[in-house]
Structure 1
Amino acid sequence: MAEPPPLVVVTDSDLPGDAPEQILGAAGLRVRRASCRSAEEVARAARDATALLVQWAPITAPVLDRLDRLRFVSRLGIGHDMIDVAGATARGIAVANTPDYCVEEVAAHTIAMVMALARRLPVLDRAVRDGRWSATGDGVGALRPSRASVAVIGFGRIGSLVAEHARALGFRVVVHDPNVEEAAVRAAGHEPSPLEEALAVADIVTLHVPLTDLTRRLLNGETMARMRPGARIVNTCRGGLIDETALAEALASGHVAAAALDVFEQEPLSAASPLRHAPGVLLTPHAAWYSPDSLEELPRRAARQIVDFLEGRPVPSIVNPEYAST
């Protein structure tokens, strides 16, 4: 009896449509869609899978030990902190993200937040709604771009585009990214900087790094204390990069003047979160990635790279190329 085609399990997805089924099915692959929330649910749903399509489900080392046939994990999105990449590498399993489906959207959302904080738009909007009409009163702290600095932490696809846009608006741009040559940062017209110096000089800090053990709570009570009084923070990357309790305290004290946040340690944001009522905060619901174009591209690209991998074609977005040497 002929061996059945490889099975791809969609562990979880809240995206509309059936693009993965269409693309994978057209390539002759079997597809099973699940709604996994826990590692145990993944292990049961994907026990005979050759590849996984993952949005938020946890792919842990113990789960990988139970998936004997697994060869490839494709992430519906850019971040891959829900996947134990080191564990996958040790087991010879490739992991790929979908890194470029929403670069324009996230960069645009970030710049919108940068400008909203620079020009004090949330405060001014609330003032008008409350019956006040004072540009000089409620607009205190508004920035002139040519006299202000933006620190871009992380100079990848999105961070480099944010830096380009910020520079075009007139901001001085300092960049911290230990994985990028300083010459490349200078060639783009920006100033490379160690993290402590970038935080110390910036009027606005915007985060564009992956969430790892090294970057978790990168902005905490200690690092925020090094920021200049009245600085502002933008995060469209991963909520875990910021200690939210420490941020709420810094906002309450006025040391951090404002924050614009699209991502949070727990999502949806808890009704009890102090960030909901902290002064000077602009909140959006993990929406920086979204446009109708990106929504269409994401599942198609994530499914297409499964087909490419299983058919032996290169997948440039594999985040652990060393998997092949194990």
Structure 2
Amino acid sequence: MPRFKVYVSDYDYPDLDIERSILEPIGAEVIGLQCKTGENLAELAADADVILQQYAKIYRDTIEKLKSCKAICRYGTGVDIVDVQAAYDHGMIVTNVPDYSIEEVGDHSITMGFMLLRRIPMYTQATREGHWHWSASGGSIFRFRASRWGIIGLGRIAQNISRKLAVFGFEVVAYDPYVSASLMKTHGVQKVELDELFSSSDVVNVMCPCTPETHHIVNAEAFEMMKETSVLINCARGKCVDNAALYNALVEGKIASAGLDDTEEEPAKRQDWKPEDNPLFSLNNCFITPHSAYVSVQALEECRHVAAENAKAILLGKAPLDPVYP
């Protein structure tokens, strides 16, 4: 009989070999589920000692039914899909993996921004249609040096972005009510108010966590303030951007283009998603990747190792490396 039972709520990895290599030596059985939505998770994992969570939503109604569970260990950084307060109310620990994809998400954001500032997809489409001229992108192209890159949220990933952008000569500004102007200055970033960021930036780069405060932080009012030549990049949570307002802004030419790593409906967390659900997928000036900004071979391996090590520590009665508190 195993000493512990660790359920993986859902996963899109090819196997659970990494998790088993860490947890089986301490007597844990690792059981993989595919409960992507979180529905019926409490019944499927009723005897769980720990749950490793990828996309499943684990809220209070589920947590209340998990009588023997000691912890919910997230694969990834965000904890918006787990009720952290409810977990602690029921004696559970919540952990995440905060540092594994700082480079990847930063690089993905910059890559999207550079691609759209240089209007490379538009040029590519034009040449395929037989148009061979410098004006064939259909829009204005500006020099990187002295262009303004505005970042909403100056956490670790955004700090990484700002350091890399300095090499190209961008003026980097940021809005973050929780980071002081003096700390921003140490990263070569100027602190500005949100309205100024929207109205003056050539790139608006969303890098904040998804909270009630930041839900739809980029909305119709924001698009009214933005430059017609500006680019929106969102490699944070999809719900930080009002997708209906973004669609209208792109169709009406209020901004030039957008690059997203997730849409508001978050397809990875749905069983029955199809692109027709969101009209942004029909636009030729909106470019969407499948929530893959965090991906590299190294990042995926690190994420799985750290999540499993957090679970191992808790099962052995030790403090995990990456606790998250309400």
Deviations 1:197-254 (A, max 9, x none): 2112111011111112221111111222222332210011111111111101100111
**Greater mean alpha carbon deviation, residues 268-277 or residues 72-81:** 268-277
- C-alpha RMSD of the superposition: 1.8
User: The residue matched to 1:30 in structure 2 has which SS?
Assistant: strand
Instruction: Output the amino acid matched with 1:135.
Output: W
Match of 2:137 in 1: 138
Work out the CA distance in 2 between the residues paired with 1:198 and 1:23.
Answer: 45
Contact preservation (8 Å) 2:219, 2:242: yes
Deviations 1:275-317 (A, max 9, x none): 1232422222222111121222221111111112333444342
Match of 1:79 in 2: 78
**Superposition map of 1:42-57 within 5 A:** 42-57=41-56
Match of 1:16 in 2: 14
> 1:284 pairs with 262, 275, 289, which one?
289
TM-score, normalising length from structure 2? 0.92
**Superposition map of 1:277-316 within 5 A:** 277-316=282-321
Contact preservation (8 Å) 1:252, 1:279: no
Work out the CA distance in 1 between the residues paired with 2:245 and 2:72.
Answer: 35
Contact preservation (8 Å) 1:13, 1:35: yes
Identical counterparts, % of pairs: 32
Structure 1 residue 43 displacement after superposition: 0.5
Match of 1:270 in 2: 274
Work out the CA distance in 2 between the residues paired with 1:167 and 1:9.
Answer: 44
Structure 1 residue 95 displacement after superposition: 1.1
Answering whether residue 172 of structure 2 is matched by residue 167 of structure 1, we say no
Answering whether residue 100 of structure 2 is matched by residue 94 of structure 1, we say no
Instruction: Name the count of aligned residue pairs.
Output: 319
Deviations 1:16-38 (A, max 9, x none): 22211221112222322222134
Contact preservation (8 Å) 1:251, 1:279: no
**Superposition map of 1:55-134 within 5 A:** 55-134=54-133
Structure 1 residue 110 displacement after superposition: 0.9
Contact preservation (8 Å) 2:162, 2:188: no
TM-score, normalising length from structure 1? 0.92
User: The residue matched to 1:256 in structure 2 has which SS?
Assistant: coil
Work out the CA distance in 2 between the residues paired with 1:182 and 1:314.
Answer: 34
Compared CA separation, residues 4 and 278, structure 1 to 2 (3 A): closer
Instruction: Name stretches of at least 5 consecutive residues in structure 2 with no aligned partner.
Output: none
Instruction: Name stretches of at least 5 consecutive residues in structure 1 with no aligned partner.
Output: none
Instruction: Output the amino acid matched with 1:284.
Output: T
Contact preservation (8 Å) 2:235, 2:261: yes
Compared CA separation, residues 178 and 317, structure 1 to 2 (3 A): farther
Contact preservation (8 Å) 1:114, 1:234: yes
User: The residue matched to 1:175 in structure 2 has which SS?
Assistant: strand
Structure 1 residue 139 displacement after superposition: 5.6
Instruction: Output the amino acid matched with 1:308.
Output: A
Answering whether residue 34 of structure 2 is matched by residue 35 of structure 1, we say yes
